[in-house]
Structure 1
């Protein structure tokens, strides 16, 4: 389990963690432990956002929280979101779309998607921070947990890898659904103890990520690391929008 934790933190964060094992068994444990990464990173971003919202206003707090989360992940999930948007938007066959996603540049679909998603996250968070720094901090934490829980569900045994090699092939089809359900239930319980509506936001975020994963599996034949990153950002955005509407 410690190998899985090191894999999770070493892959999903900027924290300097030595990863000794890089195999599918460890990858599956890492994806189950991914919400713990979300808990740590989300707590840091929530604290920074709440502090800036208290001193500088809700919009500054929202921008700070989003920026801190992006920085703590090296922009990994945002990069995946942009690549998947370019791949889906290209309208090309799966092999060509996957090749487009591997390119280092970002196309117009990726730029537009990044802009809209970041604006949606900031707008939703600003509304929560306007209610109170505490509510804003809870929203940041919920979004971070939803994003990493989406990684767990994206690696179910029924979800194949779209291509050999890379992070996607290492973690694809490594998680059994009872384990994923148990992790999500624990997250929902913990969030409920903090605020009753947070589990609903978590569920909405995971539903949005599930719809994207389903589309990508049909379109590309499976998942890649980029698809998992896109699912994480989709879950976070869906959770924040749900909180804004609630």
Structure 2
């Protein structure tokens, strides 16, 4: 189960070629969602390397920020960005729940989704560019990428229902035990204190991580009220807004 869960996590949440799980059931899916931050370590390492090399060769901060975040987008096949756009379109649709879910299921981006995607990505790029200019770009992208993936297990506890009876949301809803999700969150928040060694204020690492989760929690709560629960798209949207908010605080 652990091996299949790890394969599902890496294969679903990154573009790395890994063997397919031998079986996928609720337990495997729950294990995969719990491993999401671990898959995020791979993404963070790649993005941190790109940012570090960009700074080393003297590229402008804005260019380095685009390259770093572009690496994350490519390494996830744009999965979470697509989820953010679809979630925004669904929330911006009529107040009919079924129509909103149908709009999200279609997958094409409407004006609300495009605008939301634009503003969130601009915030991510601007915040990372500011962090790079301050000399803390590598640690900022590493902490933000890993911390934002903690939203995946947090969204898969029993407190978050599925908006649909089928799909990824239904498979993983309630599949991660609350103590496990909480333990992952505490561990990542504690590890974020590594930002101290990059010259940031003592509070910035943990506060940035918690603020990112809180912003994502607001989006999640809105989706639960409006859509009846979460979907795979909502998971992606929560990851992206968490990433943006975390980077913003780290850029202070």
Calculate the TM-score normalised by the size of structure 1.
0.95
Residues 53 and 59 of structure 1 are in contact (CA less than 8 Å); yes or no, is this contact kept in structure 2? no
The answer for unaligned runs of 5 or more in structure 1 is: none
Name the counterpart of 2:4.
Answer: 3
- Between the aligned partners of 1:131 and 1:218, the Cα distance in structure 2 is 40
Name the counterpart of 1:239.
Answer: 246
Name the counterpart of 1:109.
Answer: 112
Calculate the TM-score normalised by the size of structure 2.
0.93
Name the counterpart of 1:20.
Answer: 22
Residues 50 and 129 of structure 1 are in contact (CA less than 8 Å); yes or no, is this contact kept in structure 2? no
- Between the aligned partners of 1:176 and 1:209, the Cα distance in structure 2 is 20
Residue number among 50, 57, 61 corresponding to 2:60 in the alignment: 57
- What are the Cα deviations for residues 153-172 of structure 1, in whole angstroms up to 9, with x where unaligned? 11111211111222111111
1:218 and 2:240 aligned = no
Name the counterpart of 1:206.
Answer: 213
- What are the Cα deviations for residues 91-128 of structure 1, in whole angstroms up to 9, with x where unaligned? 33111000000113110000100110111000000011
> Could you tell which deviates more after superposition, 88-97 or 64-73?
88-97
- Between the aligned partners of 2:241 and 2:152, the Cα distance in structure 1 is 11
Which one has the bigger helix percentage? Answer: 1
Residues 194 and 205 of structure 2 are in contact (CA less than 8 Å); yes or no, is this contact kept in structure 1? no
- Between the aligned partners of 1:20 and 1:207, the Cα distance in structure 2 is 36
> Could you tell which deviates more after superposition, 41-50 or 15-24?
15-24
- Between the aligned partners of 2:239 and 2:16, the Cα distance in structure 1 is 19
Matches within 5 A, 1:5-154: 5-18=6-19, 19-55=21-57, 56-132=59-135, 135-154=136-155
Residues 40 and 145 of structure 2 are in contact (CA less than 8 Å); yes or no, is this contact kept in structure 1? yes
* 1:207 alignment partner, SS class: helix
Where do 4+ consecutive residues of structure 1 move more than 4 Å?
Answer: none
* 2:132 alignment partner, SS class: helix
RMSD: 1.1
Aligned residues: 243
- Between the aligned partners of 1:218 and 1:109, the Cα distance in structure 2 is 19
- What are the Cα deviations for residues 182-219 of structure 1, in whole angstroms up to 9, with x where unaligned? 11111122221342421211111011111111110111
- Between the aligned partners of 1:212 and 1:218, the Cα distance in structure 2 is 10
Residues 156 and 175 of structure 2 are in contact (CA less than 8 Å); yes or no, is this contact kept in structure 1? yes
The answer for unaligned runs of 5 or more in structure 2 is: 197-201
- What are the Cα deviations for residues 46-73 of structure 1, in whole angstroms up to 9, with x where unaligned? 1102211332121111001110000000
Name the counterpart of 1:170.
Answer: 171
* 1:182 alignment partner, SS class: helix
